[in-house]
Chain A
Amino acid sequence: MRGVRVAVLALASLVFTPAYAERHTVTLDGFAFQPTMLQVKAGDEVEWVNKDIVEHTATARDGTFDSKLLKPGASWRWKATQPGRLAYFCALHPTMTATIEVK
């Protein structure tokens, strides 16, 4: 009897899970981050995909994340943990800038 109750609770926890972590994609193309402004929740993942014809980076100004060199075709993932506003840029092309807002 107890086993059944545990099983039911386990199944119920699967159905009534709190909001799951999402994955967001930022595309690097035309020397720009698309979207330039991204809003995510703490726990979400961000994936940067370089679709441009040159290497770029996605580097947070405060040091929170750094993709290091992303060759064309490469991608890199980062998990947002702390709420806040993160300004970031391409370390190779400093006029290429964007922001992530973590809620």
Chain B
Amino acid sequence: MKQLLIATALLLGFGTAAAQEGTPNDAQIAHIVVTANQVDIDAGKLAQTKASNAEVKKFGEQMIADHTAVNKQAKDLAAKLKVKPEDNATSRSLAQGGRDNLANLRGLKKGKDFDKAYVDHEVAYHQAVLDAIDKTLVPNAKNEELKALLVKVRPAFVAHLEHAKHIQETLK
């Protein structure tokens, strides 16, 4: 139940922050992307050490690998475009959600409790980021290369979401 509340807060926070701030500029979009990847890398690192189910652990490791690769692309592009990622309410909300999730997961018992909570959050998280990509990031990206990167990166989030949902089914 607590997990569901956190996931909901994450989704609402994402949306509310975005609404309050108005539309993000390219520097803010870059920051949101980098933050979104880092949040999942951090969660993956915890799963790598704490997950009991082999598939969950493997998924966590894949999140680290994939989101690190995506972040490198994002950072390289920002450097190339001479765009300094700019902190903003949306990325702060994402980062806070990430910290809340980690705090919650750290307090859980190793085993089914942790595994289920981690995967449930991964499902909610990837869905929230996908929605943000579709509704906020891609439509507002001004630079064509930044927009192209967002489009190129989107399938990663889709695949992760599908994979997480499959694992979620097996943990029921």
Point out the residues of chain B lying under 8 angstroms from A95, CB to CB: 159, 162-163, 166
Interface centre among A72, A92, A96, by most chain B C-beta atoms within 10 angstroms, is: A92
Whether B108 is near chain A, meaning CB under 8 Å from some CB there, is: no
B70 located at the interface, meaning its Cβ lies under 8 Å from any Cβ of chain A in the complex: yes
Q: Is the CB of A31 within 8 A of B156?
A: yes
**Is A30 part of the binding interface, using a Cβ–Cβ cutoff of 8 Å?**
yes
Cβ 8 A contact of A30, one of B62, B66, B155, B166: B155
Option from A30, A53, A96 in Cβ contact (under 8 Å) with B73: A53
Interface residue ranges of B118-161 to A (CB < 8 Å): 152-153, 155-156, 158-159
Which residue of the partner chain, among B156, B162, B163, B166, contacts A54 with CB atoms under 8 Å?
B156
Instruction: Provide the bound-state CA to CA distance between A95 and B158, in Å.
Output: 10
Considering only CB atoms, which chain A residue lies closest to B55 in the complex? A94
Is there a chain A Cβ closer than 8 Å to B9's Cβ? no
A-B contact count (CB 8 A): 33
Within the complex, what minimum Cβ distance (angstroms) separates A54 from chain B? 5
Partner of A53 from the list B156, B162, B166 (CB cut-off 8 Å) is: B156
Task: Assess whether B153 is in contact with A31, with CB atoms less than 8 Å apart.
Answer: no
- CB under 8 Å from chain A, chain B span 41-77: 62, 65-66, 69-70, 73
Q: Is A40's CB within 8 Å of the partner chain B? A: no
- Judged by DSSP, the binding face of A is loop
Query: B92: shortest Cβ distance to chain A, in Å?
Result: 26
Chain A residue contacts of B166, Cβ below 8 A: 94-95
Are A94 and B155 in touch, CB under 8 angstroms?
A: no
Residue interface mask A9-29, B partner, CB < 8 A = 1: 000000000000000000000
* B-binding residues in A (CB < 8 A): 30-32, 53-55, 72, 92-96
A-B contact pairs, 25 of them (CB 8 A): A30-B152, A31-B155, A31-B156, A31-B158, A32-B155, A53-B69, A53-B70, A53-B73, A53-B153, A53-B156, A54-B65, A54-B66, A54-B70, A55-B65, A55-B69, A92-B62, A92-B65, A93-B62, A93-B159, A94-B163, A94-B166, A95-B162, A95-B163, A95-B166, A96-B159
* Residues of B near any A CB (own CB < 8 A): 62, 65-66, 69-70, 73, 152-153, 155-156, 158-159, 162-163, 166
List the 9 shortest-distance A-B pairs measured between CB atoms, nearest first: A30-B155, A31-B159, A31-B155, A95-B162, A54-B69, A54-B66, A93-B159, A53-B73, A95-B163
